[in-house]
Amino acid sequence: MPTTPDQKLWARTRQAVHAEVARTAMSLFLERGFEATTIDDIAAAAGISRRSFFRYFGTKEDIVLGDLAARGELIRKELEARPATEDAWTALLNALRHTPRPGQDDATTLQISKMLYGTPSLRARSLEKHLQWQALLTPEIRRRLGVAPDDEHDLRADAIVACVLTCLDVAGEAWTRSDGSQSLEDLVLTAVAAVRGSAADA
């Protein structure tokens, strides 16, 4: 059934309000701290009711991490587009490297990263989102390895995706500790090389 002009207008309005509430909340988080900012604070600053807030976000954590789900889809598409000549590890790393990042300056990214790694509830939600990424990315890695989709005993694809995502998380934490002075990409590659080297030595 075709979308009507009124439905399109409503969707654009909803997206605009969603983005405005997110911007307002992030500003408060960076100014006051994530845990010190309440949902009521966000609603008041955004000029909406508490009830309206929950029409756009399920939790405060979703404001910070909500776009991770969408980013996972972008990474999946990039992974599927990688050349067939790339092995599973290389294709996955290149997909992560070439997927566009949020349009934030380095200083803001570092602030958000410090908030993420310093807040247990955000950390837990971040790991939960990475599990969603794993579900999205594993089928393509299985295909590249020649593993049948219904083969429950071949764990190589699951292990590779889990390792790379863990390396990404470890590298992100190290990048944050260094105040962004190190290259995040180099840290990810170093972490992955350590895992692969350990596996080869075993």
CATH number, domain with residue 142 = 1.10.357.10
Tell me, yes or no, whether 171 and 184 share the same domain. Answer: yes
Domain, as residue range, for 25: 1-58
Structural domains counted in the chain: 2
Tens digits of residue pLDDT in 38-53: 999 999 999 999 999 9
Tell me, yes or no, whether 114 and 149 share the same domain. Answer: yes
Tell me, yes or no, whether 71 and 164 share the same domain. Answer: yes
Question: Which pLDDT score is estimated for 202?
Answer: 45
Question: Which pLDDT score is estimated for 35?
Answer: 93
Among candidate residues 143, 147, 13, the one with its CA nearest the CA of residue 84:
143
Sign of the alpha-carbon torsion through 41, 44, 47, 48 = positive
Final residue before a domain boundary, out of 58, 81, 105 = 58
Residues of the chain short of pLDDT 50, as ranges, are 202
Question: Which pLDDT score is estimated for 10?
Answer: 66
Tell me, yes or no, whether 80 and 159 share the same domain. Answer: yes
Question: Which pLDDT score is estimated for 14?
Answer: 81
Tens digits of residue pLDDT in 169-179: 999 999 999 99
Tell me, yes or no, whether 78 and 156 share the same domain. Answer: yes
Question: Which pLDDT score is estimated for 100?
Answer: 82
Question: Which pLDDT score is estimated for 12?
Answer: 76
**Maximum separation of any 2 CA atoms in the chain, in Å:** 62
Tell me, yes or no, whether 14 and 113 share the same domain. Answer: no
Among candidate residues 40, 37, 58, the one with its CA nearest the CA of residue 49:
40
Question: Which pLDDT score is estimated for 200?
Answer: 54
Question: Which pLDDT score is estimated for 29?
Answer: 93
Question: Which pLDDT score is estimated for 109?
Answer: 86
Final residue before a domain boundary, out of 10, 43, 58 = 58
Question: Which pLDDT score is estimated for 4?
Answer: 74
